[in-house]
Amino acid sequence: MKKKVALFVTIVSLAIVVGTQALAGQVLDRIIASGELKVGMTKDSPPLHTMGKDGQMMGFEVDIAQAMAISMGVKEKIVTMDFAKLLPALESGKIDVIISGMTMTSERNLKVAFVGPYHITGKTILAKHDTVFKLNQEESAANVDIKLAVLKGGTSEEIAKGAFTKAEVLVADSQDHALQMLLDGKADAIMTDKPFCVFAAFRHKDKDLEVSNTLTFEPLGIALPEGDSLLINWVGNFLMTLDGNGLLQQRTKFWFSNSSWMKNLP
């Protein structure tokens, strides 16, 4: 896997036509001067990003972060924290960008800039068969009386409270925490991004868990601090190049249609 990532970032660094000498702007100046791109992520959203058994972060979004840093001529530094702390950290300058399964919502876009999407996903529910069957019925889903675990600060929390009026919404600090609630019987279901639900159902086959229909449209984007138009422009061109030369699709296929990377999980 390391060889594939190395090839990926090498090709990207050659393909990006924006040279580091042309970079200017408050945030870009800080990144270039420090020689480090600080990327905010959570720890637990495979295959987007997760911690490997070697203690290093890996995943689709980690590949994007590494390619971005190499194209800037700096090193990437993954800064992990709870999802709800990511936007405040970006606004305060503790991190430079967020690449962490963050949906480009209108509310968030009032505070920070977004470039993307680099991936389209949606919210699904992971639960036992009977619960999933009930929640898949649009006419009765809102009246299902369940304990539903969601990620604090994520779009799932808002959707759950608005759409499932009879559900008791349990707020978790991380997706792993929400999943553990389900596995321990403290929650009847969890609602989060489809890739995580599919991954969890695959990894815990003995629990007979199923994934519901996709409930929402969730375009994932790179969040950037406001005020640095050149950084926003640079990241937009970076993603356009990544998509245009097929490398974004290549890494999407590797992480979402291939299970070989799972052997590197703890």
Q: Indicate whether 23 pLDDT > 90.
A: no
For the stretch 220-240, pLDDT in tens is 999 999 888 999 999 999 999
Amino acid at 92: S
pLDDT for the residue 2: 53
Closest CA to 11 of 246, 260, 253, 252: 246
Check: CB of residue 214 under 8 Å from CB of residue 122.
Answer: yes
Q: Is this model's pTM higher than 0.85 or not?
A: no
- 199-236 b/e (C-beta count within 10 Å ≥ 16 → b): bbbeeeeeeebbbbeebbebbbbbbbbeebebbbebbe
Indicate the average pLDDT of the chain.
89
**pLDDT tens column, 149-182:** 999 888 888 888 888 888 899 999 988 999 999 9
pLDDT tens for each residue of 115-146:
999 999 999 999 999 999 988 887 777 788 89
Question: Rounded to 5 degrees, what are φ and ψ at 68?
Answer: -65, -45
In one-letter notation, the amino acid at residue 142 is: A
**Which amino acid is located at 101 in the chain?**
G
Q: Are 191 and 156 in contact (CB under 8 A)?
A: yes
- Domains of the chain plus CATH, in order, are 2-120+219-264 (3.40.190.10), 123-211 (3.40.190.10)
Question: Which residues lie across from 120 on neighbouring strands?
Answer: 219
Q: Give pLDDT tens digits for 179-217.
A: 999 999 999 999 999 989 988 998 898 998 999 999 899
Q: Is 263 exposed, middle or buried (0-12, 13-18, 19+ CB in 10 A)?
A: exposed
